[in-house]
Amino acid sequence: MLRSIAELARVPGPVHLAIGVFDGVHVGHQAVIRTALGQPDGSAVVVTFDPHPARILRPDRSPLLLTSTRHKLAILKGLGVVRTLVLSFDESFAQTLAEDFVHGLQAACRPLGSIAVGDDWVFGHRARGSVALLRSLGITVHAVEAVTVEGAAARSTGVREALAHGDLARAAGLLGRPPTVLGIVVAGRQLGRKIGFPTANLALENEQLPPNGVYAVRATLGGRALDGVANLGLRPSVESDALERRLEVHLFDFDEDIYGREVEVEWVEFLRPERAFPSLEALTAQIVLDAAEARQRLGAA
């Protein structure tokens, strides 16, 4: 992974850049990225930003993420992307004039072959950069039109809305893959282990999640696919004053120490809303039912 524009000098030219925030890496983003990957010569580099520019430009209206940067890079690797440039987006970078940004790319690449972007992409200070500006500076530009899914353009906003409303099928259609979240396993209260259902508690990064509830899930851990059942929410049966949503995953037929490991969780199917139970015994009995139903749904999926 590259961290500065200057490092593009190490990439064998001509260099073909796919540039964008690419939050979620949905089907529209994939069209831009595959345009760069599909050039017949040279090297393709995907250029993206961390954090999401909205966190700096409009922090009061910054959207929830679809993918953390770590998750985004993993998805890009799965698409066949070998080289990525992750630029730190801060107050200073936000002041960069569009022309200066382009000149920096031209100076670093040896040579710059082309740039692939969405046809409505804007960039630079006050968003004054555009496809037209790129072309006026002599850049070969691949302006990729929006990809439509069921009559609507694929946008990150649309994926967020689908997830927020629990429409997993719609989210999957826009993403071109099942919706997932990537987290690191952290220590919890060990209550699940005490009642016979050990769970992996995942630390997340302010991602857009589906509604609270119990889900049949598939998890990927170090290349292994594991079925499970997950609870997303405030855990009202054991924490009456909790304010932070938590994701806890019980992996079937699995009992290994995975603290500190990355786990990608696929939302397969919603089973029921989260609710409080009058006793630990009642909660345990419901978890038994949830696990059985999740196994059945996953077997049929």
- Whether the pLDDT of residue 300 is over 80: the answer is no
Q: Can you tell me the distance from the alpha carbon of 176 to that of 220, in angstroms, rounded to the nearest whole number?
A: 18
Residue 245 near residue 233 (C-beta atoms within 8 A): yes
Instruction: Say what the pLDDT of residue 294 is.
Output: 98
Confidence of residue 230 (pLDDT cuts 50, 70, 90): very high
Window from 148-152, 192-196, 203-207 with minimum mean pLDDT: 192-196
- In this prediction, residue 241 has a pLDDT band, given cuts at 50, 70 and 90, of low
Neighbouring C-alpha atoms within 13 Å toward the C-beta of 165 = 9
What pLDDT, in 10s, does the model give residues 7-58? 999 999 999 999 999 999 999 999 999 999 999 999 999 999 999 999 999 9
Q: Is the pLDDT of residue 240 over 80?
A: no
Closest CA to 13 of 82, 111, 105: 111
Closest CA to 266 of 202, 203, 219, 208: 219
CB 182 within 8 A of CB 67: yes
Q: How far is Cα 222 from Cα 198, in angstroms, rounded to an integer? A: 19
Give the chain as a 3 state SS string.
CECCHHHHHHCCCCEEEEECCCCCCCHHHHHHHHHHHCCCCCEEEEEEEECCCHHHHCHHHCCCECCCHHHHHHHHHHCCCCCEEEEECCHHHHCCCHHHHHHHHHHHCCCEEEEEEECCCCECHHHCECHHHHHHCCCCEEEECCCEECCEECCHHHHHHHHHCCCHHHHHHHHCCCCEEEEEEECCCCHHHHCCCCCEEEECCCECCCCCEEEEEEEEECCEEEEEEEEEECCCCCCCCCCCCEEEEEECCCCCCCCCCEEEEEEEEEEECCCCCCCHHHHHHHHHHHHHHHHHHHHHC
What is the structure's pLDDT at 278? Answer: 85
Look at residue 280 in the predicted model and tell me its pLDDT: 85
Average pLDDT, the chain: 94
- pLDDT, tens digit, for every residue of 255-290? 899 999 999 999 999 999 998 888 888 888 999 999
**pLDDT the model gives residue 39:** 98
Arithmetic mean of pLDDT, 69-85 = 97
Q: Write down the pLDDT at residue 191.
A: 62
* Domains of the chain, start order: 5-157 (3.40.50.620), 179-300 (2.40.30.30)
pLDDT score at 217: 98
Residue 92 has pLDDT above 70, yes or no: yes
Higher pLDDT pick, 241 / 124: 124
The predicted structure's pLDDT at residue 276: 86
- HSE (CB half, 13 Å, CA atoms) of 253? 6
pLDDT of residue 197: 81
pTM above 0.85, yes or no: yes
The rounded percent of the chain whose pLDDT value lies above 70 is 94
Mean pLDDT of 88-105: 98
Instruction: Answer whether residue 238 shows pLDDT above 80.
Output: no
What per-residue confidence (pLDDT) applies to 243?
Answer: 60
Average pLDDT for residues 69-90, to the nearest whole number? 97
